[in-house]
Amino acid sequence: MGVHRSHVQRQRRQDAAETAVRNRAIKSAERKRRDARMIDRLRKGTLPYAPAVMSWLSDRLDKKANRITTEDVKPLLG
């Protein structure tokens, strides 16, 4: 006799929920570190920035990377 499928599925959902709770704190801390790293790179450089910085800026400003101007970046720095 094996375990019913519903029990296995319920156990997997529970495991996934527990993993999400554990990862939430780790990911939020990593986001803070990444934000600090990117802002530091913004202060040191000028347009065009490295691809990783441009991607981060694009996400933050909700704008395409090729449309980002120096005026768009100023509020993030100050």
pLDDT digits (tens, 9 = 90+) for 53-64: 999 999 999 999
Segment 15-38 shows an average pLDDT of 96
Tell me the C-alpha distance between 23 and 30, whole Å. 10
CA angle at residue 11 from 6 to 15, to 5 degrees?
Answer: 150
How far, in Å, are 10, 33, 70, 73, 78 from residue 42 at the CA level?
A: 46, 14, 10, 8, 11
Give the pair of three-digit tokens for residue 40. Answer: 């530091």
Closest by CA position to 47, among listed 32, 60, 33, 57: 57
Segment 12-19 shows an average pLDDT of 97
Residue 1 clears pLDDT 80, i.e. is over it: no
